[in-house]
Amino acid sequence: MEVLMPEPQIYVERTLAIIKPDAIGKEEEIEDLILQSGFHIIQKRKLQLSPEQCSNFYAEQFGKMFFPNLTAYMSSGPIVAMVLARNCAVSYWKELLGPSNSLRARITHPHSLRALYGTDELRNGLHGSLSISSAEKEIRFIFPEAILEPVPTGQRARDYLNLYVKPTLLAGLTALCKEKPADPMIWLADWLIEHNPNKPKLQYHISQ
């Protein structure tokens, strides 16, 4: 008797990234850096938030002295919001962003995104979620249709690896042995990207 098993799923950590109004002109350049850093852009949306929406998004900052300027700044022009996915997405994105103060970032983290594209302490070019829980909350705020999977454990994770990861990896290693490239690690990485059967599709949601 054949036992039918549901298609296994595996969780990939996600975080919310926002290109703020002062950096919107560098959108394509920033996206290229994001992709080069190992992230997948799962969803993307260009929109302009109202002051009320900004107040709700930054509700945890309510009462702080900079709050009125923050909401005014974030509602001053269009933004690009993206759901980024990769292993340890939240921490890697925070590291790529650098310090929240762009002026300080230029001194301590000169190659960070905020050092490159931010203006000052308030207008720092980009937003990143502070934790996994805040990422989930912020993604649902910007992308209410988003489905965030629970983290699989035990047999579900093993099933996914056996069905989807190991066959692709084995095929890649076999091709590597036949090709015998000068730099096997880079060749294998490129091969896996090209032949990834579960490569997420980039989705655009444009709001006028």
- Whether 206 is covered by a domain: the verdict is no
Q: What are 33-80's pLDDT values in tens digits?
A: 999 999 999 999 999 999 999 999 999 888 889 899 999 999 999 999
Q: What are 70-117's pLDDT values in tens digits?
A: 999 999 999 999 999 998 999 999 999 999 999 999 999 999 999 999
- Whether 107 is covered by a domain: the verdict is yes
* Phi, psi of 51, rounded to the nearest 5 degrees: -55, -35
* Cβ atoms within 10 Å of 15's Cβ, excluding its own: 27
Kindly name the residue from 40, 109, 127, 195 that is annotated as catalytic: 127
Whole-number Å distance between alpha carbons of 138 and 189: 31
Indicate whether 112 and 186 sit together in one domain: no
Percent of the chain with pLDDT over 70: 82
Range of the structural domain that residue 185 is part of: 159-195
- Whether 9 is covered by a domain: the verdict is no
- Whether 124 is covered by a domain: the verdict is yes
Indicate whether 102 and 59 sit together in one domain: yes
Indicate whether 118 and 176 sit together in one domain: no
Say whether pLDDT at 7 is over 70: no
Indicate whether 122 and 187 sit together in one domain: no
Residue 101 belongs to domain with CATH number: 3.30.70.141
Is 127 an active-site residue?
yes
Indicate whether 114 and 174 sit together in one domain: no
Indicate whether 120 and 170 sit together in one domain: no
Considering the chain, what is the average pLDDT of its residues? 84
Indicate whether 25 and 124 sit together in one domain: yes
Q: What pLDDT sits at residue 192?
A: 82
Read off the pTM.
0.66
pLDDT band at 1 (very low <50, low <70, confident <90, very high): very low
Q: What pLDDT sits at residue 168?
A: 85
- Whether 148 is covered by a domain: the verdict is no
Indicate whether 38 and 131 sit together in one domain: yes
Domain total of the chain: 2
- Whether 6 is covered by a domain: the verdict is no
